[in-house]
């Protein structure tokens, strides 16, 4: 397979954000071996191994992680509505905005990618709390009880 300049450029953007190799491979088609070598050259260590969490529900086990996930989802929703870029470029833009919101952020790019894919497939949905107006990510928790992270009111679509 012959990769293009755009694919290598995208791979570098994703490597800079420390995306998982499996995500970069999926988005660019560049071999995992080439990507692992590039990661080692950039960071001086091997990329993370292990399974990628493939659902937003796996990322929202604590209240803090739920709030961070919701914040990224809100950023992604805004970018998705305003940008004509490709899906992966929208995720990059939203992640960069999210990253600027708080220096103590815990969500990494790979988790952001999973959340954006779940939003696009409509398995999770961003809504606004009718009580306080805060964004709420519906169907994102194992409990299936969607409550506002701010005022604790129950939220429905």
pLDDT, averaged per 10 consecutive residues of the chain (157 residues), comes to 83 96 95 96 91 83 89 96 96 96 85 96 92 91 78 83
Per the CB < 8 A criterion, the answer to whether 35 and 25 are in contact is yes
Strands (E), the chain: 125-128, 135-138
Strands 135-138 and 125-128: antiparallel
Pair of tokens at residue 115:
């959340």
CA atoms 4, 8, 13, 18: torsion sign: positive
pLDDT, residue 1, reads 52
What residues make up the domain containing 21? 5-43
How far is the C-alpha of 97 from the C-alpha of 104, rounded, in Å?
Answer: 14
Residues 22 and 90 in one domain: no
Q: What is the pLDDT of residue 91?
A: 98
Exposed e or buried b for every residue in 96-130, given b needs 16+ CB within 10 A? ebbbeeeeeeebbbbbbbbbbbbbeeeebbbeebe
pLDDT of residue 54: 77
Q: Classify residue 76: in a domain, yes or no.
A: yes
Domain assignment present for residue 104? The answer is yes
What is the predicted pLDDT for the residue at 18?
95
pLDDT of residue 23: 95
For residues 24 and 63, state if they share a domain.
no
Mark whether 22 and 61 lie in a shared domain. no
Say whether both 62 and 16 belong to one domain. Answer: no
* Domains: count for the chain: 2
Same domain, 17 and 63: no
Quick one: pLDDT at residue 59? 87
């Amino acid at each position: 397979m012959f990769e293009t300049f755009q694919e290598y450029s995208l791979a570098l953007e994703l490597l800079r954000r420390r995306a998982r190799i499996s995500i970069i491979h999926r988005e660019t088609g560049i071999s995992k071996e080439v990507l692992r070598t590039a990661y080692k050259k950039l960071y001086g260590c091997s990329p993370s191994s292990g399974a990628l969490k493939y659902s937003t529900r796996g990322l929202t086990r604590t209240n803090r992680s739920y709030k961070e996930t919701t914040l990224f989802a809100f950023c992604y929703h805004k970018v998705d509505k305003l940008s004509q870029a490709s899906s992966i470029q929208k995720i990059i833009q939203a992640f960069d905005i999210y990253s600027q919101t708080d220096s103590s952020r815990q969500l990494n790019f790979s988790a952001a990618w999973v959340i954006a894919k779940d939003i696009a497939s409509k398995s999770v949905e961003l809504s606004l709390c009718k009580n306080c107006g805060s964004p709420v990510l519906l169907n994102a928790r194992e409990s299936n009880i969607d409550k506002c992270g701010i005022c604790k009111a129950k939220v429905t679509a």
